[in-house]
């Protein structure tokens, strides 16, 4: 591994990103765990909670892309994006911190206003920090650093099923306060990290010349493939997996079984980063989609809990390949100058998929698959397979002007 200064600073920034994503994911866990009880205290029925979560995801859809575009504009001046991320994050943390204090007052409009403020401002922690990575880090190191940053999300997802039961009976003011303060402290590191990353890049080499990236039509096809993969993953993880596990285990066992997907995700992340560097993001992404389809099919046909666990672990590893490749490809396609825009587009379609899953649950369409023969069981396989075909076609047709990492 390189020992030059920019590589050292890039690795440090990658660790900051991992910590930031870890804490952001945990704040979401805390928020979702307490939302029904807090909403009830302000007079909002529990049946309306899915609608609040749906609204949150729709806000992410709009804000992820918008803030990605804004990040590209602000990042043209060295040292400006880090402070912007910090200040917006502080507003986000303040909104989150106030939620459990506002709930006892009983003002529903203020409570909903704070949830909307939190959703709007927390989007600043998704695409913009990764845009800095794409702007300043060594091109060859971006896939590995992307995988490192996603490790925080993976670890938080493993912990989440165990953390949620522990929060029951705990005064919500404490988890909200700890999550908010920790996230604010991590964001504070972004200011110095951006300056160090930019300074190291400036000293290491002259600024790269602008490139003509992937044509807009192909970018939209790429984002469409990401949307299919994200929808398939949302249905597989959150709707189908509990149904499949209940064929072989008790409902009480689900909290210790559900993290197997994310354990596989974490184990494959870093190898996926190195594979992308060698074979290209679109190739690895297409292969990951194909493996995900196979693992989902194997899960349906699993005749034992051991076989299902193996299929779930493989599915998680495939999703690691998909996620790492999607972000690395977005940064490569957007280089130089559109890193935030394309990465923001990726996070927007991820939010669309999450919103679709929440809408399916809110409309009770998930009950169709409860008996094991519903359309939901087969939807991820179709989505993964179609996306794999699209990505292979994009990989074959990619223009010579596109960064080799894509």
Residue that is last in its domain, among 178, 204, 230: 204
Decide if 240 contacts 369 (C-beta within 8 A). yes
Contacts of 188 (CB under 8 A, 6+ apart): 86
Number of independent structural domains in the chain = 2
Based on the fold, state whether residues 292 and 352 are members of the same structural domain.
yes
Q: Taking Cα atoms as reference points, which of 92, 117, 102 lies closest to residue 184?
A: 92
What are the CA-CA distances from residue 54 to residues 28, 32, 59, 323, 362 (Å)?
14, 12, 9, 22, 9
pLDDT of residue 9: 63
In a domain, 262, yes or no: yes
Decide if 39 contacts 111 (C-beta within 8 A). yes
Question: Which residue bears the tokens 């997802």?
Answer: 157
Based on the fold, state whether residues 223 and 144 are members of the same structural domain.
no
In a domain, 362, yes or no: yes
Q: Is the dihedral of CA 77, 83, 85, 87 positive or negative?
A: negative
In a domain, 9, yes or no: yes
Residue that is last in its domain, among 146, 179, 204: 204
The two three-digit tokens of residue 144, written as one number:
């590995």
Query: What pTM was estimated for this model as a whole?
Result: 0.90
Q: What does the pLDDT look like over 385-405, one tens digit per residue? A: 999 999 999 988 764 344 555
In a domain, 156, yes or no: yes
Based on the fold, state whether residues 193 and 237 are members of the same structural domain.
no
Q: What does the pLDDT look like over 163-195, one tens digit per residue? A: 888 888 899 999 999 999 988 888 887 777 677
Range of the domain at 367: 216-397
Low-confidence ranges of the chain (pLDDT < 50): 1-2, 206-212, 369-372, 399-402
Q: List the CATH number of the domain containing 340.
A: 1.20.1250.20
Based on the fold, state whether residues 123 and 231 are members of the same structural domain.
no
């Amino acid at each position: 591994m390189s020992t030059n200064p920019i590589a050292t600073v890039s690795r440090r920034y990658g660790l900051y990103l991992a910590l930031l994503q870890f804490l952001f994911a945990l704040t979401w866990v805390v928020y979702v765990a307490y939302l029904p009880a807090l909403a009830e205290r302000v007079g909002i029925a529990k049946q309306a909670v899915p609608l609040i979560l749906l609204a949150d995801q729709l806000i992410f859809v709009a804000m992820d892309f918008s803030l990605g575009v804004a990040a590209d504009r602000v990042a043209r001046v060295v040292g400006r994006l880090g402070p912007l991320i910090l200040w917006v994050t502080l507003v986000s943390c303040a909104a989150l911190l106030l939620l459990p204090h506002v709930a006892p007052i009983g003002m529903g409009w203020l409570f909903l206003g704070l949830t909307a403020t939190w959703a709007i401002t927390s989007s600043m922690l998704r695409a913009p920090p990764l845009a800095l990575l794409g702007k300043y880090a060594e091109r060859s190191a971006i896939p590995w650093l992307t995988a490192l940053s996603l490790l925080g999300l993976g670890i938080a997802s493993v912990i989440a099923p165990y953390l949620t039961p522990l929060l029951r009976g705990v005064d919500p003011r404490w988890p909200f306060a700890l999550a908010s303060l920790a996230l604010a402290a991590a964001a504070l590191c972004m200011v110095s990290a951006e300056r160090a990353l930019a300074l190291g890049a400036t000293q290491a080499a002259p600024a790269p010349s602008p490139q003509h990236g992937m044509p807009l039509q192909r970018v939209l096809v790429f984002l469409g493939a990401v949307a299919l993969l994200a929808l398939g993953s949302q249905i597989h993880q959150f709707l189908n997996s509990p149904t499949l596990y209940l064929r072989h285990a008790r409902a009480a066992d689900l909290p210790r079984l559900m993290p197997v997907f994310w354990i596989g995700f974490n184990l494959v992340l870093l190898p996926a980063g190195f594979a992308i560097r060698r074979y290209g993001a679109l190739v690895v992404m297409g292969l990951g989609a194909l493996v995900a389809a196979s693992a989902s099919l194997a899960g349906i046909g699993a005749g034992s809990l051991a076989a299902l666990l193996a299929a779930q672990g493989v599915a998680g590893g495939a999703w690691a390949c998909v996620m790492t490749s999607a972000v690395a490809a977005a940064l490569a396609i957007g280089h130089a100058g559109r890193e935030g825009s394309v990465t923001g587009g990726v996070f927007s379609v991820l939010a669309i998929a999450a919103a679709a899953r929440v809408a399916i649950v809110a409309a009770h369409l998930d009950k169709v698959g409860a008996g094991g023969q519903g359309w939901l069981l087969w939807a991820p396989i179709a989505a993964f397979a179609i996306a794999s075909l699209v990505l292979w076609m994009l990989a074959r047709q990619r223009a010579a002007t596109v960064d080799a990492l894509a």
